[in-house]
Structure 1
């Protein structure tokens, strides 16, 4: 459970209870440090007095500024810093007037200047009440380990007790100065977590103005954007490498590194409470979700691997691939040219490799796997919903979005002052922009999104044309080893090209989506992030999946016949291999999914690490030249930044992966295995990145994973339909089973699935006079420049994929085509009805809230009522009786 793993040593409950007898504001234990003493941590964690802990850093560089700009920026900085002090923060250096700031900048000689910020105790108490921080009021006396946590214990190793130790659990309540006697303080240093302190500072930084004449000029983000400041970040707790020889106590950062972020700790469970305290609830929720997702992948990964191995081992017993690979019959069938004009005839046996590859992924077990994955998607969403509710209670997140989240300052400033409403929750008057006024903004953003999606579709069409053109070119090559692998080469190169286009368009759209979401003017950060998420995912869905949808549902579906081929934009449509299109879909998914994951992991680790090493060397060189020390804030400043969108890219990467393993489960049973391997590394890669390679992000709070949950549910429902259609229309499952039912085996299935065509009836192309014209581009008689090298006689009949009458016209569909189409539709209806019925049953049967969480909430409510009643009785005992007799009625 989240509450059983933490970075704070166990504290005796009796000691905690003793210290609650005095009011919080009168608690004294030496100077307020907001953390530990200097003996426990390095000196550069504190202000110059060695007592007050540094909670936040803001930095700026005066280099490369012209004289006029320097004066403007200096005044803005000075006013901003004065406003910070006015809101209760303590800064170092203390600046009394703008001239002092000018003097400091001149002495710095253009180097980076750091302003260190400390949140004093009184300010923390005030904002703890304003931001409704929940604090302990009573020890928790209910066992709340869930079935999920018992599974985690079985599959992972417990945390190393040297680093992450258990902590006592408490019932909590929103902090209030009026109820200060009711809270368990413990120690002043630990009462407020580092995450809470950084959240308070960030809240103040985001609302402080820097131009008293213009109220729209406010917030640290604006000042970073206009280059007044270079960065703002909470300070890391010191180096992440622990000095084992020194023997000093470990800081929170080194605790997380040793038992979580270290690559060798991949088999240990995650210390979610320690992550939450150090990085905040939002990042803690992400790692909790990623851990649950990875654990749930274990089951489909094993099933998919067994299906793959079973298909591989069953190849030698497969009658279809045996027939195709038989060089005598039907492997010696002469197949019609794969392109118009320059392609030769070819032998069916050249598709032997594709037939074997297809059988591995296209067999009876694949249907069962698609069914399992469709249900698995629902099970994962239900398990996470329960897990999230448990975490929400443990971390006091229930009702955060409805009751606690404040309006975005950008919304308050840009909304009309004349438009106000009474908040339905707080009953306080607040600035409000009606939907009718925001609607034009939303519509304009929607049109821009539609344009970008059309741009993606245009790129997909370009890749389709590339596929057609390159396949024609390769198939016409005289080298047999190249022309016979035209489909494989085309699929691989087109998939790689698609991956490159996907990455480039994603970068472009990211910038556009950010501007559009800003333009829409959302009230809270949650609304803003949800809107941004929906925009980006809509684009990513089309961007990442469109090529796979083309292969699965468009390619080879209406190819026509050699007398009248189907066309796409005037080009002859690609045809599927006689063994089917499923192997091409598998290749495309494998390249795009695995290639994307490899690229993202490379970008997340090696690029930031290389940049950090470079910046660190420059910083160390400057310090050596000046004779100064390389302090913690300078080391942190040289690290990378999480970025304005925070965890969005992490969630998007995993959600796209979730789509690949569910939407196209029938085509790639190994996808969950690759996803599991990637995610085991992803957890530690992200942990390593957050602990060692990034500046410490401010501790944002969140109640859930936002719009991502709704996206996951939607993708799970889409997966049911896509898998049904892939099995019915892309794979050969239905035709094979119909044939098997009639003949008790698949021997002769290939002959059954191929049509015959008289070569004298090829369609007229390139404006020629007719099919019998001597200049016709198709090889008709011996001596033609396009004559296939395999044959010593004129080809009069060739075979092609489909159920058409032949070999002579009319080339209409056979009755068998309509019979198979009916069976395919029946299969789709049965599959989706059965799966949706089971999904809805699971959704109904599995409760959203774990039973022990319900009991804990009831217990907490009971204790709150009991405390009020005890307080009332205590008051009655201490105060004299003031009862009066009721007056008699007149």
Structure 2
């Protein structure tokens, strides 16, 4: 987004690119940011209760003492902040002035302000009918909802013990290591000069608590909550804000579906291209770093920077690309064996008895494939197809089939080990799918009826059995009808 002197903003191909995802895209994006932020059973034992009761008081004290630096001024002029250059844009809403749903939008925006979010509006340069609503979550709002959502934040740095295997090498292994020094040094490894060492900043995490804020590592209050977490918190708020009086009149998704807002999205961290070299001037931002060391064609042969992907896109997207990279790497031995099977078919093509008989059967006439328009054909006309079939279906195919069966099992078992390592490094071991947040519409409809969860012991909205029974009857009736319909079709075909 580019801000002009007249107080207008527009879509731009410059430092900040704005996209218009749909409702499903927004849900998928923020589901991917919620992988590791659920409560853990043992996290409370990691932290000791403090005497502080206000996050604002503690942060103000640390800020006054100079222990929490602010964002440098050079990073405040890249189009990612309000016009004052201080408030970072955490979310963007887009609407048209000519939309007939202005009343809903006004109520929605008034409730947004009531939740503590700051708002700034700017009109488009290219189209005066389009308005951009920039949202910013202050520190107090981030802290309150981070505690409510059990967002896991760093509180203690990890210590890595390096295993120095070189001391225990035999003389032969030492000679081999000297010989390897003349060879190219692991070209598939990522460039350590370009990519920062994330292990130095890797920390143990625990659910955020305002009363225990002094336990957490806050080096910079502007960057303590990263951009993905900030956008996720704002998205969480927008999904639970009402736009009309009523149980179901809640959430941003409904306003997007009825065109009250044209689009809603978080911003990227600036442009992904730079005039300067990343090796000499460094990366402009995380997006630029990902483009140079991951999304560029020039680094197709290198390993993926999974920690950078996780930091920018979230845990679920990071796990997906971890699986994709592992799957692609495991395909190499299967591809090599498949190539040998293909070459074996080529070398044995002239000695294949089946292909010879088909190619030499010039006097054998085959019946036509259809009754009216298909002509008779000779068996030798299928000579080319028989040879091509032999390339892929020959004597070595049996060995390849057995190999692929073993390969599938090995791939699955080794991926489980790889996934366990990633889950430990990313602090995902205690996360469970059942601990995800309740759907906002369900929470709003049944918020007055609560009960204690027998597993977690926490209060949650409760749906009465009579309400469930009516829905189960409708679902069972539909399934029973489809089964009967399918049964009648089968009986009609058979009889």
**Are 2:385 and 1:354 equivalent residues in the alignment?**
yes
**2:124–2:130: 8 Å Cα contact kept in structure 1?**
no
**1:32–1:52: 8 Å Cα contact kept in structure 2?**
no
Query: TM-score of the superposition, structure 2-length normalised?
Result: 0.72
2:158 maps to what in 1? 140
Aligned CA RMSD, in angstroms, stands at 3.9
**2:153–2:208: 8 Å Cα contact kept in structure 1?**
yes
Change (3 A) 1:338 1:114: closer
**Are 2:242 and 1:209 equivalent residues in the alignment?**
yes
Q: CA deviation at 1:300?
A: 1.0
- Alignment partners' CA distance in 2, 1:173 and 1:56: 26
- Alignment partners' CA distance in 2, 1:296 and 1:131: 38
Q: CA deviation at 1:91?
A: 1.3
2:138 maps to what in 1? 120
Change (3 A) 1:320 1:271: same
Larger Rg: 1
Which of 116, 123, 133 is 1:88 aligned to?
116
1:295 maps to what in 2? 329
- Alignment partners' CA distance in 1, 2:263 and 2:424: 34
- Alignment partners' CA distance in 2, 1:451 and 1:293: 42
After superposition, what is the alpha-carbon deviation per residue over 1:694-731, rounded to whole angstroms, capped at 9, x for unaligned? xxxxxxxxxxxxxxxxxxxxxxxxxxxxxxxxxxxxxx
**Are 2:211 and 1:178 equivalent residues in the alignment?**
yes
Change (3 A) 1:333 1:265: same
Which of 249, 272, 275 is 1:240 aligned to?
272
Q: CA deviation at 1:436?
A: 4.5
**1:41–1:251: 8 Å Cα contact kept in structure 2?**
no
Which of 411, 420, 424 is 2:454 aligned to?
424
**Aligned counterparts, 1:490-639, within 5 A:** none
Task: List runs of 5+ in structure 2 lacking aligned partners.
Answer: 1-51, 164-183
Q: CA deviation at 1:41?
A: 5.4
**Aligned counterparts, 1:101-500, within 5 A:** 110-142=128-160, 157-167=188-198, 168=200, 169-211=202-244, 213-244=245-276, 250-326=284-360, 330-340=361-371, 343-401=374-432, 404-414=435-445, 420-433=450-463, 436-440=469-473, 442-443=475-476
1:191 partner SS: coil
Change (3 A) 1:448 1:282: farther
2:181 maps to what in 1? none
**2:283–2:289: 8 Å Cα contact kept in structure 1?**
no
Which of 53, 70, 74 is 1:39 aligned to?
74
Change (3 A) 1:442 1:50: same
- Alignment partners' CA distance in 2, 1:445 and 1:32: 63
Task: List runs of 5+ in structure 1 lacking aligned partners.
Answer: 1-20, 94-103, 146-152, 459-567, 570-890
Q: CA deviation at 1:321?
A: 0.8
More helix by share: 1
- Alignment partners' CA distance in 1, 2:369 and 2:306: 57
2:105 maps to what in 1? 77
Change (3 A) 1:255 1:49: same
Change (3 A) 1:274 1:409: same
Aligned length: 409
Query: TM-score of the superposition, structure 1-length normalised?
Result: 0.42
- Alignment partners' CA distance in 1, 2:227 and 2:310: 10
1:188 partner SS: coil
- Alignment partners' CA distance in 1, 2:276 and 2:383: 61
